């Protein structure tokens, strides 16, 4: 079972793929979609098209994405929501079921602390997937989202629950 994790952003969208085999999680690929366009609708188009290309290339069965949270800037949250929508549309258009996770839920699953820092998430993703180097921040966050979903699948499987 291959899982695509997505950390949406209007300028940088991270993606990470893991595979669940025999109850273990393995690294497949990760990277960042960088939008250089000034016009916001064109950035959304890039996110949609590039992510659809990643899906066609790596053929995941599932997609997990981070939920939007509003910290201080409502305008930024709205843009993030739109970038997230473009990513979700790419997944659904390519036939993937999409699951959503709160940032604290992802950090809790990967680091054991819902308030973990980005550096702690990078460190744990590197350790859990036995990577030779640390992935870029957005790619690490996307891998953490995929790991969170994969962990949930493993736990359901261990209990005999079919998702």
Residues marked active site are found at: 7, 66, 138
Are 155 and 23 a contacting pair, CB within 8 Å?
no
Backbone phi, psi, residue 39, to 5°: -75, 130
Q: Residue 24's Cα: distance from chain center in Å?
A: 18
Tell me which residue of 150, 102, 103 sits closest to 128, measured CA to CA.
150
Q: Please answer whether residues 96 and 58 qualify as being in contact, where contact means their C-beta atoms are separated by less than 8 angstroms.
A: no
Handedness of CA 153, 2, 90, 114 (dihedral sign): positive
């Amino acid at each position: 079972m291959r899982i695509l994790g997505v950390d949406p952003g209007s300028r940088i969208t991270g993606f990470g793929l893991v595979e669940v085999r025999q109850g273990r999680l393995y690294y497949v690929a990760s990277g960042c979609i960088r939008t250089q366009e000034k016009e916001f609708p064109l950035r959304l188009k890039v996110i949609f098209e590039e992510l659809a290309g990643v899906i066609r290339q790596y053929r995941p069965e599932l997609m997990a994405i981070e939920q939007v949270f509003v910290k201080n800037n409502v305008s930024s949250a709205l843009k993030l929501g739109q970038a997230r929508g473009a990513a979700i549309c790419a997944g659904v258009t390519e036939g993937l079921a999409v699951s959503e996770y709160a940032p604290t839920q992802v950090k809790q699953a990967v680091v054991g602390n819902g308030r973990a820092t980005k550096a702690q998430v990078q460190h744990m993703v590197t350790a859990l997937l036995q990577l030779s180097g640390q992935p870029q921040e957005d790619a690490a966050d996307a891998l953490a989202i995929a790991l969170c979903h994969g962990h949930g699948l493993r736990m359901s499987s261990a209990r005999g629950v079919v998702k």
